[in-house]
Amino acid sequence: MKTESHSINDVLAKNATSFFIPPFQRAYAWGKPEIERYFSDVTRIIDSELDKKQKDKLEHFFGTLVIKEEKAGFANKSVIVDGQQRLTTTLIFLIALRDSETEQNKVDFINLNFLTNNTSTFQDKIKLKQVTRDWDSYKSLVNCEEANPGVIKIAYELFKKLIREKKRLNQDVKFDHYIIAIQRMNVAVIFLDERPFKGEDPQIIFETLNSLGKPLSLSDLVRNTFNLFAYEKTDWIGGWTIFYWGWWLAWAPFVGLFIARISYGRTIREFVMGVLLIPSAFTLFWMTVFGNGAIDQVLVQGKDVLANMVNEDTSVALFVFLEQFPFSSVLSLIAVLMVVVFFVTSCDSGAMVVDMLCSHGKNDTPLWQRIYLSLIHI
């Protein structure tokens, strides 16, 4: 085994080398946070290159690659034991960069240096052979064809969007700057020994890398659970429902008065059970069953249509999830009824509280007033 330092450009631009991701590797899994972080690293290098005041230009350590080189006829084949997410992401980025250009020489540069290899034994002379699940989508992108919906296509579309946005914000950023950024993203490449007695079997190495290590402590789990990335430039807090405190500030007066009204005459035990324990237990049950079920469908069963729908329109994601089960029509009808009940009860509760506030706390308010306030809530 030996370790060398290379740029990701040097690794991918080897014209006599093709890359193979073995079947035991997982499919491509980087989502929006990872893609945006990758592009942020690229743009930091570009900004450093454009800054004339900086003499020492910025570089970036991109992690580790574990490779086992093999001979395939007159060509070399590198088996990617670890680091395929980084390689695949870089190539998807380069495809998006290629498709954002109109000059043929730049398109050819990326095709010939990064995406294809004349000595490749893979279909269409493609340099990187993906796992079966990702192969068709990746191959279509390399060949400038419409890719199948999935994680690969989502990453490609996001990269194109980020490149367009960067060009809009800074007209000085050119094609060559992105290539320079790739040349300054460094990786530690570990080459495994081919000799059998060395015990460096790729699958065993992969399982070792992904199975050993000290488990997270309870304090680690608590810290990671409540990490809101508050000091990082991300829209994750506002875009996800972790922003619950904002909702509670808006709903606290209504919810507080409503709970106080319906809890009149109850014992403390009944209050705690009805207001805290039962709703929390139901929410935990719902998130566990539906959340884990959706994760299993996407990551284990490979049903990318659910992931795509969540990215496109979260309002129908529940129904796409239910379509994967028997009696999906019945389940969808029940889901619609539950949504209707939720909105009706919320509207009724809000109307009741506002009605009380408008009547100085009286319970026997006029019917027309209650109806009027209910219509306003709708």
Do residues 190 and 1 lie in contact, with contact meaning Cβ atoms separated by under 8 Å?
A: yes
State the pLDDT at residue 110.
Answer: 92
Mean pLDDT value of segment 99-110: 92
* Distance, CA of 67 to CA of 70 (rounded, Å): 10
Domain boundaries, the chain: 2-213, 238-377
Backbone angles phi, psi at 151, to 5 degrees: -65, -40
Residue 128 tokens read as 């990187």
- Is 18 strand, coil or helix? strand
Q: Which amino acid is at 363?
A: N
State the pLDDT at residue 197.
Answer: 44
pLDDT, tens digit (0-9, with 9 covering 90-100), for 323-332: 888 888 999 9
State the pLDDT at residue 248.
Answer: 74
State the pLDDT at residue 71.
Answer: 64
Q: What DSSP state is assigned to residue 275?
A: I
Do residues 205 and 81 lie in contact, with contact meaning Cβ atoms separated by under 8 Å?
A: yes
pLDDT, tens digit (0-9, with 9 covering 90-100), for 186-229: 988 888 766 554 545 555 555 555 554 556 567 766 766 666 65
Whole-number mean pLDDT of the chain? 81
Say what percent of the chain tops pLDDT 70. 83
pLDDT, tens digit (0-9, with 9 covering 90-100), for 12-36: 887 667 888 877 677 888 888 889 9
Do residues 152 and 134 lie in contact, with contact meaning Cβ atoms separated by under 8 Å?
A: yes
For residue 362, give every residue at least 6 positions away whose Cβ sits within 8 Å of its Cβ, in sequence order, or none. Answer: 356
State the pLDDT at residue 306.
Answer: 77
State the pLDDT at residue 75.
Answer: 59
For residue 359, give every residue at least 6 positions away whose Cβ sits within 8 Å of its Cβ, in sequence order, or none. Answer: 365, 369
> Angle, to 10 degrees, between the axis of helix 175-183 and the axis of helix 84-99?
170
* Distance, CA of 48 to CA of 193 (rounded, Å): 38
* Residue linked to tokens 């403390």: 268
Say what percent of the chain tops pLDDT 90. 20
Count of beta carbons in the 10 Å neighbourhood of residue 325: 12
* Distance, CA of 66 to CA of 190 (rounded, Å): 5
- pTM of this structure: 0.55
- pLDDT-derived band at 160 (thresholds 50, 70, 90) equals very high
Backbone angles phi, psi at 61, to 5 degrees: -85, 120
Which helix or strand (DSSP H or E) is residue 123 part of? none
Q: What DSSP state is assigned to residue 339?
A: H
State the pLDDT at residue 185.
Answer: 92
